[in-house]
Amino acid sequence: MPAFLLKLSGEALGGKAGVGIEPEILKHYCDEIEAAHREGIKLAVVLGGGNLFRGAHLAAAGMDRVIGDRMGMLATVMNGLALNDFLRRRGIVSQLFSAVPMPGMVEGYNRDTAKAAMHNGAVVILTGGTGNPFFTTDTAACLRAVELGVDAILKATNVDGVYSSDPKKDASALRFEHITYNEVLERELAVMDLTAIVLCKENDLPLVVFDSSESRSLTRIAAGDHVGTRVGAT
């Protein structure tokens, strides 16, 4: 069975308001992860923290960017603790890691330990971003995906793929079934930040962008069904 890294944004956990953690949304993601896990799909999950804190916003208001980003890293850990708890209460083996060491609370990220946990069937939850300021959780997702050797990154969003422009603002926006990383860069499409896109491109790592509200997306992608937009080298 394939191995995937699932990227979940913090805002998605906050529901329509995009703030806090909405239990029903978290339950939905757990349903999706559980369905994939039961079929033997190996999963790592990288979480954002924008539902609890966004360092870039306060940095724009004058806060030291490094301090703001550190606070954002802590927000991802809070989301990870919630997801880990929900999964474990379902009987799903999961292991939580943080790029920011937190002895006694969260195990520090180690690539070999995380990879072994995935190999042994645990859902690996990765928090704390890269552990460094100025890098987004999208970049963290790409970095961890390369380190763990997964088959693809699955990015859950609030739209059903990659569009030529924002479909919520432009009724004429066209959806791509497949697009290359070079085209994403040339068109300046807001799929991921530039660092993340280049990292995926250089490592020939496929990316699938899909609608997080659709049921059984992970298992359908694993089965080879066409879901969302596939981004690749060619």
pLDDT at 32: 97
pLDDT tens per residue across span 89-126: 999 999 999 999 899 999 999 999 999 999 999 999 99
Spatial separation of the C-alpha atoms in residues 125 and 135, rounded to whole Å = 18
Averaged pLDDT, 60-72: 90
The per-residue pLDDT for range 85-96, each reduced to its tens digit, is 999 999 999 999
For the cut 80, the answer to whether the pLDDT of residue 57 exceeds it is: no
* Residue 11 binned pLDDT confidence (cut-offs 50, 70, 90): confident
Contacts of 54 (CB under 8 A, 6+ apart): 68, 72
User: Percent of the chain, pLDDT > 70?
Assistant: 100
Q: Say if residue 217 is exposed, middle or buried (CB neighbours under 10 Å; 0-12, 13-18, 19+).
A: buried
C-alpha separations of 119 from 40, 42, 54, 89, 115 in Å: 10, 7, 33, 21, 6
* SS3 annotation, 186-216: HHCCCCCCHHHHHHHHHCCCCEEEEECCCCC
What backbone phi and psi angles, to 5 degrees, belong to 79?
Answer: -65, -40
Q: What is the CATH number of the domain that holds 96?
A: 3.40.1160.10
Specify the amino acid at residue 62: G
Count structural domains, the chain: 1
| Model pTM score | 0.95
Q: What is the pLDDT of residue 119?
A: 95
- How, if at all, do strands 152-157 and 207-211 pair? parallel
Which amino acid, one-letter code, is at 190? A
Question: How does residue 177 score in pLDDT terms, banded at 50, 70 and 90?
Answer: very high
Expressed as residue numbers, the domain containing 146 is: 3-191+199-232
Q: What is the pLDDT of residue 75?
A: 96
